Amino acid sequence: MAIHLHEHFGYRKLFRFTLPSIIMMVFTGIYGAVDGVFVANFTGSTHFAAVNLIYPVLFLLGAFGFMFGAGGSALVSKTLGEGDNKKANEIFSLLVYFSLAFSLILTVLGIALMRPVASLLTSDKATQDYCVTYGTIFLCALPMAVMQFEFISLFVAAEKPKLGLVLSVAAGCTNIALDALFIIVFQWGIVGAAVATVCGYVVGGAIPLLYFSRANSSPLRLCKTKWDGRAILKTCTNGLSEFMTNISVSLVTILYNYQLQKLAGELGINAYAAISCVGFIFLSIFLGYSTGVAPVISYHFGAQHKDELHGLLNRSLFIIGGSSILLCLASLLLASPLAALYAHGNSAMHDMTVRGFTLYCFSYLIAGLNIFASAFFTALNDGGASAIVSFLRTFALQVLFIFLLPVFWALDGIWLAALFAELGCLIASLFFLVLKRKKYGY
């Protein structure tokens, strides 16, 4: 039975409604992880290092898809809650058309600048060439990647999270199957990894466009629209925290790689890649839950159901808290086998990765609350508070501790930077949750 945004959400209904978004985000995280496993085990450490160096730059270009998805979902859901379906569809259509056009511009610019960017990331000529090869192929599908990132949130606003789940699983399975075919069977190396990723994004981005361009059973459909600068601005403001989160993740990863090249060379870059790939999948559970529950919060905010907002906040904090403990324990128990997926018999890399996992995973105890707090304020159309929390968590505090902690603890300082950043951000999250409670009535 379909669940609608206007309903009351207890624990069971919250779980059912957000589960598709959680799995969608997990499969989004699987893209990088799967490419990493295949590249690390079947093409060599230099190829693996190249993918890890260039992928943050590529992800940076696609980050605005998350911004338009999260910010647009909040605005569209609020408009639906106010009862104006026609306007909601016009806003939805404008956002999709605008982001498609913008992503095409970024594709052209990205391909033109790929070689200079690669030269900034590494001085090794062979690694530069691999970066350019992977990056250029990836950028050919950037518009579809943006669409997939955007529809993660918009499918929830359209009350079709299960359909979004099916497409995300299909896209992820396409990537995995083609990685095996192109890298192992055809032996295309890094080219095969890039083409497999591209094909996955085409599945995840093109099919939603086709679905919403035709008559469907959701409240949303692509239609004739008109320019609405205020809607674009509100969407960007609402989704600023998600944009900053993904931009910051990319920039911080580049800084991690910079520090690791000095402290541990190529081995350190590859160890961090393994930790961050698995870590992103773990954190995707928090991201997926926050994405899934956000339109529900936005709808009840628009409808002025303050008791429902209060209940949604309390139940979400309980769910996030319990999940945080479980993920930390799982990471501690699985550190060695997860490291083995990427080490390919290299005992030095295995030991370094296990050590990193063991220290890094304590950040999961706090990350979920900070991620939810940012998404909560985005859903309330309070882009300022959301952006501050996101900026502190994903960039400002991370940069501070990436450079500060190694002075005292060398390589261990790198692995602990995330934990210290989450602790600092927790103060801001709690401050805003307390400060804004009367304004929004939660």
Mean pLDDT of 229-253: 85
Query: pLDDT tens digits for 402-414?
Result: 999 999 999 999 9
Please tell me the total count of domains within the chain: 1
Query: Does residue 3 lie within any of the structural domains?
Result: no
Residue 142: CB partners within 8 Å, gap ≥ 6?
58, 61, 62, 103, 106, 107, 110
Q: What is the pLDDT of residue 45?
A: 83
Is residue 382 domain-resident?
A: yes
Kindly state whether residue 4 falls inside one of the protein's structural domains. no
Six-digit token string for 7: 């309903």
Tens-place pLDDT, residues 292-322: 898 899 888 888 888 999 999 999 999 999 9
Q: What tokens appear for 177 in the block? A: 């199957």
Which helix (H) or strand (E) is 241 found in, with range? Answer: helix 240-263
Q: Is 46 inside any structural domain?
A: yes
Sorting pLDDT into bands at 50, 70 and 90, what band is 273? confident
Residue 256 pLDDT class (50, 70, 90 cuts): very high
Contact of 272 with 414, CB cutoff 8 Å? yes
Q: What is residue 101's predicted lDDT score, i.e. its pLDDT?
A: 96
- 406 in a domain, yes or no? yes
Predicted confidence (pLDDT) at residue 5 exceeds the cutoff of 80: no
The torsion region of residue 221 among left (phi > 0), alpha (psi -120 to 50) and beta comes to: beta
Q: Tell me the pLDDT band of 419, cut-offs 50, 70 and 90.
A: very high
Is 24 within the bounds of a domain? Answer: yes
Contacts of 24 (CB under 8 A, 6+ apart): 152, 155, 161, 164, 165, 168, 288, 291
Q: What is the DSSP letter of 123?
A: S
| pLDDT higher than 80, residue 340 | yes
DSSP 8-state class, residue 238? H
Does 253 fall in a domain?
yes
pLDDT tens digit sequence for 95-153:
999 999 999 999 999 999 999 999 999 888 999 999 999 999 999 999 999 999 999 88
Q: What is the predicted pLDDT for the residue at 1?
A: 56
Region 198-216 average pLDDT: 93
Instruction: For residue 371, tell me if it sits in a domain.
Output: yes
Residue 2 in this model has a pLDDT that exceeds 70: no
* Helix, strand, coil shares, percent, the chain, to 5: 85, 0, 15
The answer to whether residues 47 and 240 touch, using CB atoms and an 8 Å cutoff, is no
How high is the mean pLDDT of the chain?
90
pTM for this structure?
A: 0.77
Enclosing domain of residue 368: 11-440
